[in-house]
Amino acid sequence: MVFRLKLILFLVLHFLPKVKSSMVSLNNNGYEDIVIAINPSVPENETLIQSIKEMVTEASTYLFHATERRVYFRNVSILIPVTWESKSEYLMPKQESYDQADVIVADPYLKYGDDPYTLQYGQCGEKGQYIHFTPNFLLTDNMSIYGPRGKVFVHEWAHLRWGVFDEYNVDRPFYISRKNTIEATRCSTHITGMNVVFNECKGGSCITRQCRRDSKTGLYEAKCTFIPNKSQTARDSIMFMQNLNSVTEFCTAKTHNTEAPNLQNKMCNHKSTWDVIKESDDFQNASPMTGTNLPPHPTFSLLKSKHRVVCLVLDKSGSMNTVDHLVSTRLLRMNQAAELYLIQIIEKGSMVGMVTFDSTAEIQNKLTKVINDNTYLKLTANLPKIASGGTSICNGLKAGFQAITYSNLSTFGAEIILLTDGEDDAISSCFEDIKQSGVIIHTIALGPSAAKELETLSNMTGGHRFYANKDINGLIDAFSRISSRSGNISQQALQLESKALNITRREWINGTVPVDSTIGNDTFFVVTWTIRKPEIILQDPKGKLYKTSDFKDDKLNIHSARLRIPDIAETGTWTYSLLNNHPNSQLLTVTMTTRARSPATLPIIATAHMNRNTAHYPSPMIVYARVSQGFLPVLGVNVTAIIETQDGQQVTLELWDNGIGADTVKNDGIYSRYFTDYHGNGRYSLKVHVQARKNTPRLSLRQQPNKALYIPGYVENGKIILNPLRPEVKDDVAESKMEEFSRLTSGGSFTVLGVPPKGNQTHVFPPGKIEDLEAEFKGDHIQLLWTAPGNVLDKGKAKSYNIRISKCFLDLQKDFDNAASVNTSALIPKEAGSKEIFEFKPEHFKIENGTKFYIAIQAINEANLTSEVSNIVQATKFIPPKETSIPALGTNISAISLTVLGLAAFICILN
């Protein structure tokens, strides 16, 4: 069963399309269409562009050698912000945009951290999201700290493109080796250096001393630091210290340190980085280049972003008259959502047009610049009022192209929002025109019969894809997600509330929405209904009331009323009440949107997506949600994913940021969970609701993982030569408390295939692997701690645990089932995510000072499927000596008490 799950996960990672819409391709050993985008907030600086070019050129040669002549960088596009002056050499982007860039250049938000890093939270071998360089890193001489910028770029490229992880660990910088020596967490172990504590630092020099041993753990004290020798002979590893002159390779199976407690070993099951890289799609199709010549230097294109151009292409065919579940026609719901988009979501300064189509198409609005309320009225006045005729999506798209080009603008980089509920067998006939247009198409499939090719349009153009089932909220959520792609977050509309409620006669409903201090500009409160306008009461945090008469009805009879909050919305909790004053039940919806309080205030944002666009039953999917302010993660919030099936069933999942199961790193602001509850085939939609209650949310100021390691100094001729010191985040300010807030966001849609009919589905998923097992002696007993997995991966409750113990590591690693069993009859598994504590006394073993045990655990579910074997831990019976010695690196410490998590490749040693 474990093999089957591994096979499923292998297919997930290697053969299914990913969500990230990177344009990068590998052709004849050369990477093409890499996009490096500069954030609009970065001041204009020609030197920055030159530095980017030099970094990539240097990186290309380094990458070529590091991959044994397999790959290099052929061409790169540098996306210039719209805020910079135009120049004749700047070309027009096609589908390149800031939010889909492979590399972004942006300030770090706080003074802490010019460390280059990669936003990477997928599984082993899965591509990352983007690489982040700060302008300061690119413009300042950081050679002694990070090494040449080209080598740093290759380190980050390995994170981004091949899904490998760092081979150091700032949280566990040392470990006990299988030879019972204290070692720095590194790869390879041939990299040498000194272990010291910095006592006092002034003017670039420090007083140091040798590291002392912690009498409880046997490891070095918390402030001990590994300082590498400047001169090394080791050639690997790029994922440890790419800054060392001798390092030119990735760790291979021969040189990989399987013992080190780093993320590479944890995430990739102790595989070397080179083994993971060789299994990537890139290397399956890239043989080493022959000859001795180096590849040509990369070429660069400078692309200048332009103001946003959007054209709505809306279906008004006969099927849009369909009434779903006695709610309202699809045409009405489309108009309600489109009106909200045009008034509340689209950014001022954008050029907007509109096309409607059935079997033919008509341009309702040529491109119009959004300036004021008159613009909105002009646009919304032409929303379709009647639905009839057939469905020709190609005609609609071609009319969209015409609406754009009528204004002498290029379709390159323009966006089309295509909404349809109909089928059209002829969509493929315009695929080539779409590719040539350079347009980005966002698709919204309304109802279960919408053309299956819609997702192809989004995928080929780098657009978003959405599915809306029966109520207006699905459409509103989709439109609200289609925001600016420029990187200017202060322009983007944010959803605070999106709720649909079926209200009976004369029933009141109440709700609250927190407005935090990062937002409040351009705030709207909107109510829609299906039969009659309800009574509305809205109260701000200071008690000011807005009543029904304050809400403006639309002029198109599309059953919606809107209140724009004057000036900046008050910070605090807003309260609303709605009364259905119609004799019959009706569906009411409530939507609240806003923007950043000011251009100088970075708002808290939430984004969400699935780990891929298509699921083939029975492979699991992973839901991801990122909550951040600027580039800083927001912790301690409740994140709920709502997944809706094609037939309207909903699955609710609480997402976790605990570093367990689907979650890669604890407390990084990425909340995730496995999704396995498939209810039939077809389109599914994802929506995420983030809620932060008082005193629980906090902003993490700690450095991001998956980064180029900051090196404090080097050892030269036996002396430590320090690098410039940087400001560090003190433990007491590493997290700052935040106020209450709420965010909603759509994660788009995904497709599920291969689900058998109800009644034919079998149990295929075992419990999740336990990855955080800890062990230590408590007297003559051993105490174990771990996080409970689920009955199905990370959901539910396992049936039982199987704990095995041995004095030899290999007994557990190679032959777990035949190792000595621990009696767990009194151990009843808790709900997934709970903390488990279990104590036992090793039976049939003689215990004395220095006795060592290795322990591992499996979970078993109700279908008797077993999880993978957990990380293997070591517990040693230790009676501390009266005097504490100070061992040097490599000193034998066989009689030291220790608790080691996740160590592998131990062998039985006779002490």
Q: Which two tokens stand for residue 119?
A: 């936003």
Query: Phi, psi (5° rounding) for residue 907?
Result: -125, 160
* Residue 83 near residue 45, CB atoms below 8 Å: no
Q: Could you tell me the end-to-end alpha-carbon distance of the chain, in angstroms, rounded to an integer?
A: 38
Q: Bridge-partner residues for 217, per DSSP?
A: none
SS3 313: strand
- From the candidates 58, 156, 249, 644, give the one annotated as an active-site residue: 156
Q: DSSP letter at 92?
A: P
Q: Bridge-partner residues for 309, per DSSP?
A: 351
The whole-angstrom separation of Cα 551 and Cα 511 is 18
Could you give the count of Cα atoms lying within 13 Å of 364 in the half-sphere of its Cβ? Answer: 22
Beta-carbon contacts of residue 815 (< 8 Å; ≥ 6 apart): none
The whole-angstrom separation of Cα 853 and Cα 844 is 13
Q: Where are the alpha helices (DSSP H) in 238-280?
A: 238-241, 263-267, 273-278
SS3 709: coil
The whole-angstrom separation of Cα 343 and Cα 558 is 14
The whole-angstrom separation of Cα 847 and Cα 805 is 14
Q: Of 165, 272, 265, nearest to 902 (Cα)? A: 265
Is beta strand 34-38 parallel, antiparallel or unpaired with respect to 25-27?
Answer: unpaired
Catalogue the long-range contacts made by 406-411 (C-beta closer than 8 Å, 24 or more residues apart): 406/363, 406/366, 406/367, 407/351, 407/366, 407/367, 409/309, 409/351, 409/367, 410/92, 410/438, 411/437, 411/438, 411/439
The whole-angstrom separation of Cα 288 and Cα 816 is 40
The whole-angstrom separation of Cα 242 and Cα 259 is 20
**CB neighbours of residue 244 within 10 Å:** 23
The whole-angstrom separation of Cα 5 and Cα 656 is 22
* 183 catalytically annotated: no
Q: DSSP letter at 866?
A: B
Q: DSSP letter at 730?
A: -
The whole-angstrom separation of Cα 229 and Cα 220 is 19
Q: Bridge-partner residues for 207, per DSSP?
A: 200
Q: What is the crossing angle of helices 472-481 and 330-340, to 10°?
A: 30
Name the residue with tokens 């991801």. Answer: 624
Query: Phi, psi (5° rounding) for residue 748?
Result: 80, -165
Burial class (CB in 10 A: 0-12, 13-18, 19+), 549: exposed
Chain centre distance of CA 809 = 35
Beta-carbon contacts of residue 896 (< 8 Å; ≥ 6 apart): 176, 180, 213, 218, 876, 878
Q: Of 402, 260, 302, nearest to 87 (Cα)? A: 302
Q: Which two tokens stand for residue 326?
A: 């006695």
* Residue 406 near residue 354, CB atoms below 8 Å: no
Q: Bridge-partner residues for 195, per DSSP?
A: 226
Q: Which two tokens stand for residue 854?
A: 């290795």
Catalytic annotation, residues: 156
